[in-house]
Structure 1
Amino acid sequence: MREGLPGTDWVPPLLAYYHKFKTEGLLTFLTLLDNKVSADLMTGLAPTSRMENMNTILKAIENAASSSVVNQDQSLFAVNKGDLQWVLNGKMYGRRFTKYALLKLSYLKLDHSLTSLDVSSAITVEHILPQNPENDSQWTKDFTPEQRESLVHTLGNLVLLGRGKNASLGRQDFINKAGKYFKGFLSVSPHMENVLHNKHSWLPKDITDNQQRAVDELLACYCPN
Structure 2
Amino acid sequence: MTRHTIEASEKPILDIFCDKYLFRIPSYQRPYAWTTEQTSELLDDIITACGEGGDVANASPYFLGSIVLIKDPQKPEADVVDGQQRLTTLTILLSVLRDLSAPKIGAAIHNYICQTGDPIKGTCDVFRLTPRDRDAEFFRANIQAEAGTNALPDVRQFRDARARMIENATFLRGRLKDSSEESLRRLTMYIAQRCYLVIVAASDQESAFRIFSVLNSRGLDLSPADILKAEIIGALPVGKQDAYTAQWEDIEDELGRSRFAELFGHIRMIHRKQKMQGTLIAEFREFVPTRKDPAKFIENELSPYADAYEEITDRAFESYKHADEINRQLTHLSRLDNFDWQPPAIEVIAKRRSDPDFILRFLSDLERLAYGLFLMRSDPSDRIRRYGRLLGWIQTGDDLFSDASPLQLDDAEKKAVRRSLDGDIYTVTRIRLPLLLRLDELLSGGSAVYSSPIMTVEHVLPQNPKAGSHWLTDFPTESDRDLWVHKLANLVILTRRKNSQAGNLDFQDKKSKYFSMKNGVSNFALTSKVLAESEWTIDTLKRRQNELIGAIEKLWRLA
TM-score by length of 2: 0.37
Match of 1:104 among 438, 441, 463: 438
TM-score by length of 1: 0.86
Higher share in strand: 2
- What is the Cα deviation at residue 27 of structure 1? 2.0
Q: Aligned partner of 1:110: which letter?
A: S
Report the CA distance shift for 1:224/1:81 in structure 2 as closer, same or farther (over 3 A): closer
Q: How does 1:1-225 map to 2 (within 5 A)?
A: 1=332, 4-22=335-353, 24-25=356-357, 26-64=359-397, 69-70=399-400, 72-74=401-403, 75-79=405-409, 80-95=413-428, 96-112=430-446, 115-118=447-450, 120-144=452-476, 145-164=478-497, 166-167=499-500, 169-184=502-517, 186-193=521-528, 195-223=529-557
- What is the Cα deviation at residue 111 of structure 1? 2.7
Q: Deviations over 1:113-146 (max 9, x none)?
A: xx34426451111000000111011111211122
Report the CA distance shift for 1:129/1:78 in structure 2 as closer, same or farther (over 3 A): same
Structure 1 range deviating more: 37-46 or 180-189: 180-189
Q: Aligned partner of 1:191: which letter?
A: L
Structure 1 range deviating more: 182-191 or 200-209: 182-191
Secondary structure of residue in 2 paired with 1:188: coil
Unmatched runs of 5 consecutive residues or more in structure 2? 1-331
Secondary structure of residue in 1 paired with 2:486: coil
Alpha-carbon contact 1:53-1:76 (below 8 Å) kept: yes
Count of residues in Structure 1 that have an aligned counterpart in Structure 2: 218
Unmatched runs of 5 consecutive residues or more in structure 1? none
Secondary structure of residue in 2 paired with 1:180: helix
Secondary structure of residue in 2 paired with 1:52: helix
Alpha-carbon contact 1:127-1:170 (below 8 Å) kept: yes
Q: Deviations over 1:45-104 (max 9, x none)?
A: 232111111112222222228xxx43x234222221211111111111120211122112
Instruction: Give the % identical residues.
Output: 27
Alpha-carbon contact 2:365-2:408 (below 8 Å) kept: no
The RMSD of aligned alpha carbons is 2.2
Secondary structure of residue in 1 paired with 2:433: helix
Q: Per chain length, whose mean CA-contact separation is higher, i.e. which structure has more relative contact order (CA < 8 Å, sep 6+)?
A: 1
Q: Distance in 2 between matches of 1:169 and 1:149?
A: 20
Q: Distance in 2 between matches of 1:103 and 1:203?
A: 24
- What is the Cα deviation at residue 187 of structure 1? 4.0
Q: Distance in 1 between matches of 2:501 and 2:347?
A: 45
Secondary structure of residue in 1 paired with 2:504: coil
Q: Deviations over 1:135-160 (max 9, x none)?
A: 01111121112211111111111111
Structure 1 range deviating more: 2-11 or 25-34: 2-11
The structure number with the bigger radius of gyration is 2
